Amino acid sequence: MSTITPETQIDSGHNDDPSSNYLTSSSGFMSWAFTLDHKRIGVMYLVGIFGSFFLGGVLALLLRLHLLVPNGLFGDWVSLDRYNQLFTLHGAVMTFLFIIPSIPAALGNFVLPLMVGAKDVAFPRMNLASFHLWVFGAIFFLIALVTTGLDTGWTFYTPYSIETQTNVIAATIGAFILGFSSIFTGLNFIVTVNTMRPPGMTWFKMPLFMWAIYATAIIQILATPILGITLLLLMGERILGIGIFDPSMGGDPVLFQHFFWFYSHPAVYIMILPAMGIMSELMSVYSRKPIFGYTFIAYSSIAIALLGFLVWGHHMFVSGQSPMAAVIFSGLTFSVSIPSAIKVFNWTATMYKGNINLATPMCYALSFIFLFTIGGLTGLFLGALATDIHLHDTYFVVAHFHYVMMGGTVIAFVGGLYHWWPKIFGVMYNEFFGRLFCAVVFFGFNLTFLPQFVMGSRGMPRRYATYVDEYQIYHVLSTIGALTLGIGMVGAIAVLVISLFNGRKAPANPWGAATLEWTCTSPPPYYNFAHAPHVGSPYDYSDLKYDARIGGYVKDPNASKTTPPDQH
């Protein structure tokens, strides 16, 4: 029996007062900056990630405002150069600093060990190192931002990235370091899930969020090294002039695209798979129904992770690659759409005959289904070769990936944050304002990106600082939408932050969820669990009853249905 007992975890540096929790067990800057506690690391990631999200969001609003008029709203202040830096840094910050680490490193770090009923991740020091690396990587990005900027696009395509005068080196060093951070996180989760599951939690009794994080971790450790090597080669190319990618020295610029997308396409699944995991939790908990088709959802996560490695060439349908390669990549691309479709059907079916609690996290989950379905279906236009030729590198693509990445991942992330907020900080937020800002986000999001599908299909190329007049109406709509979306996002975060000061104290299990993290107090004690948690089905709600006195759910000892006794 390998359960963790409090007696094995004596650490004189920490407060053993039963009323203390991981937030109050020790204090001071050093107790946070060098903590080995996965919960504190998760919270620090959360802060860093929201800083990045804010920065990326401000850049997005600036560039949307710039595009309000065909020749640029800010005139000379946002010159062509500055616009090119705005969209590049928006993309790079959002991708590398925010969306890749958002769910795995922040929520995953906090939730995963609790879901497993463990004291911490397998390698707490590596976990801390991962966060410190993230900080270093972010610093290099900031160096690029405040020195000469970066104007290559977040994809660093050669040969432009070799010859531009902007600070490509600082940005690639930043991305290189962030790659290690990502690998460390992935490695930690794989070992944690493999070795630290408690007795009774078989693979097919794991919460689906763990499946999703596990599948993500596989991609993180297999794909990220490719990015690292690619960026090293790019640095070598810039500094030493090796001649791998630079055609003037006999190199091949398309080779860079192969290397880059061999990482960056799977990275898209690093971004979306954890969001799908959150969705599986939310749909089940707030419908009070076991997740529909558990096995299909679990396998589809693994299928997406593996198939995701085979489709990178669809970013290069017009790069001059051979028609045969294009046809093969197109076919493989469609294969990866099926597991995603299955998940959407399963989530929807989970609501059938349920008791749907329209709390804020569920509102985000419903938004997700709406937006992610649009994101997924518009991928079909891009996977089909004949239509992709026209739509490639237009705003249609911009809209598509924002529907997937923002409408999907960010919406799920915020939904998950609302869901786990009472657990993380031990306070309840204001439901009315939570739902209100969810609606504002939903409306603003659609107003921002629906017009982009239309203008993209009408031929508006992406990454344009100025444009021909006929596209202006769509840009105006999109910019108004972006401002609305910005207000909604700030509001949604404000609701959470304000709850820290005036929120009602959260019960252990406010939503009636059946996964293990809800069996410890909110916020969790330093050592997570006072007693080894009892492993049951993660989606069986039959023995949880609402208790109005504490405002949350408790185990009903008189529940007719009992889970089988432990085998250990």
Partner 1 sequence: MYSILADTMFFPPERSSVAGTVDGLFDFIYYLSLFFFVLVVGFMIYFVLKYYQRPGHTETPSPSHNEALEITWSIIPSILVGVIFFFGFTEYLNMREAPENSYEIQVIANKWNWLFRYPNGAESSDLHIPVDRDVKFLLQSQDVLHSFYIPAFRIKMDCVPGRYTWTWARATDTTGSGIDDSSHDPFHLFCAEYCGQKHSQMRALVYVHETADFELWVEKAANILENNTPEEAGEILFKRKGCAQCHSLDGDNSAKYAGPPLNGQWGTDRQVLPRGSSSPITVKMDENYVRQSIRQPNAEIVVGRKPGMTVFTPQLLKDEEITAIIAYLKTLK
The residue among 258, 300, 414, 285 whose CA lies nearest residue 357 is 285
Q: Residue 100's CB: how many other CB atoms inside 10 A?
A: 26
Q: How far is it, in rounded angstroms, from Cα 51 to Cα 45?
A: 10
Query: Under the criterion CB under 8 A, does residue 211 sit at the interface with partner 1?
Result: no
Burial class (CB in 10 A: 0-12, 13-18, 19+), 329: buried
Query: Under the criterion CB under 8 A, does residue 238 sit at the interface with partner 1?
Result: no
Identify the residue among 125, 463, 504, 505 touching partner 1 (CB under 8 A).
463
Helix (H, G, I), strand (E, B) or coil at 547: strand
Query: Under the criterion CB under 8 A, does residue 151 sit at the interface with partner 1?
Result: yes
Query: Under the criterion CB under 8 A, does residue 13 sit at the interface with partner 1?
Result: no
Q: Spell out the residues 6+ positions from residue 300 whose beta carbon is closer than 8 angstroms to its own.
A: 339, 340, 342, 343
Instruction: Please list, residue by residue across 514-534, b when 16 or more beta carbons sit within 10 angstroms of its beta carbon and e when fewer do.
Output: bbbbbbbbbbbbbbbbeebbe
Residue closer to partner 1, measured from CB, 15 or 373: 373
The residue among 372, 357, 444 whose CA lies nearest residue 403 is 372
Query: Under the criterion CB under 8 A, does residue 431 sit at the interface with partner 1?
Result: no
Q: How far is the CB of 451 from partner 1 (least distance, A)?
A: 11
Query: Under the criterion CB under 8 A, does residue 315 sit at the interface with partner 1?
Result: no
Q: How far is the CB of 299 from partner 1 (least distance, A)?
A: 11
Identify the residue among 3, 15, 20, 457 touching partner 1 (CB under 8 A).
457
- What DSSP designation does 546 have? E
Q: Spell out the residues 6+ positions from residue 465 whose beta carbon is closer than 8 angstroms to its own.
A: 66, 72, 78, 80, 83, 84
Q: How far is the CB of 366 from partner 1 (least distance, A)?
A: 6
Query: Under the criterion CB under 8 A, does residue 388 sit at the interface with partner 1?
Result: yes
Binding mask 69-108 for partner 1 (x = CB under 8 A): -------x--xxx--x------------------------
Stretch that binds partner 1, among 48-56, 125-133, 199-207, 345-353 (CB under 8 A): 345-353
Query: Under the criterion CB under 8 A, does residue 319 sit at the interface with partner 1?
Result: yes
Query: Under the criterion CB under 8 A, does residue 385 sit at the interface with partner 1?
Result: yes
Query: What stretches of 77-211 adopt beta strand conformation (E)?
Result: none
**Helix or strand run (H / E) with residue 66:** helix 38-66
Query: Under the criterion CB under 8 A, does residue 254 sit at the interface with partner 1?
Result: yes
Q: How far is the CB of 567 from partner 1 (least distance, A)?
A: 22
Stretch that binds partner 1, among 202-210, 212-220, 229-237, 461-469 (CB under 8 A): 461-469
**Helix or strand run (H / E) with residue 425:** helix 411-425
Phi, psi of 90 (to 5 degrees): -55, -50
Identify the residue among 18, 320, 557, 565 touching partner 1 (CB under 8 A).
320
Stretch that binds partner 1, among 114-122, 339-347, 482-490, 518-526 (CB under 8 A): 339-347
Burial class (CB in 10 A: 0-12, 13-18, 19+), 411: buried
153-182: which residues touch partner 1 (CB under 8 A)?
A: 153, 157, 159-160, 163-165
Query: Under the criterion CB under 8 A, does residue 148 sit at the interface with partner 1?
Result: no
Identify the residue among 21, 378, 478, 509 touching partner 1 (CB under 8 A).
378
Q: How far is the CB of 454 from partner 1 (least distance, A)?
A: 6
Stretch that binds partner 1, among 104-112, 187-195, 286-294, 526-534 (CB under 8 A): 286-294
The residue among 519, 532, 520 whose CA lies nearest residue 9 is 532
Identify the residue among 33, 47, 232, 318 touching partner 1 (CB under 8 A).
318
Size of the site for partner 1 (CB under 8 A): 92
* CB contact at 8 A, 185 and 127: yes
Beta bridge partners, 382, equal: none
Query: Under the criterion CB under 8 A, does residue 337 sit at the interface with partner 1?
Result: yes
Stretch that binds partner 1, among 178-186, 416-424, 450-458, 515-523 (CB under 8 A): 450-458
Stretch that binds partner 1, among 121-129, 218-226, 336-344, 436-444 (CB under 8 A): 336-344
Query: Under the criterion CB under 8 A, does residue 354 sit at the interface with partner 1?
Result: yes
Residue closer to partner 1, measured from CB, 236 or 461: 461
* CB contact at 8 A, 160 and 137: no
Q: Which single residue is written with the structure tokens 């898209």?
A: 268
523 cis-preceded (ω within 30 degrees of 0): yes
Stretch that binds partner 1, among 35-43, 194-202, 259-267, 378-386 (CB under 8 A): 378-386
Q: How far is it, in rounded angstroms, from Cα 121 to Cα 109?
A: 8
Query: Under the criterion CB under 8 A, does residue 288 sit at the interface with partner 1?
Result: yes
Residue closer to partner 1, measured from CB, 115 or 397: 397
Beta bridge partners, 505, equal: 427
The residue among 330, 336, 265 whose CA lies nearest residue 304 is 336
464-483: which residues touch partner 1 (CB under 8 A)?
A: 464-468
CA dist list (Å): 153 to 62, 81, 185: 16, 12, 26
Q: Which single residue is written with the structure tokens 């915020």?
A: 414
109-138: which residues touch partner 1 (CB under 8 A)?
A: none
Query: Under the criterion CB under 8 A, does residue 556 sit at the interface with partner 1?
Result: no
Stretch that binds partner 1, among 216-224, 330-338, 418-426, 437-445 (CB under 8 A): 330-338
Q: How far is the CB of 390 from partner 1 (least distance, A)?
A: 4
Identify the residue among 327, 497, 500, 559 touching partner 1 (CB under 8 A).
327
Instruction: Please list, residue by residue across 33-49, b when 16 or more beta carbons sit within 10 angstroms of its beta carbon and e when fewer do.
Output: eebebbbbbbbbbbebb
Query: Under the criterion CB under 8 A, does residue 195 sit at the interface with partner 1?
Result: no
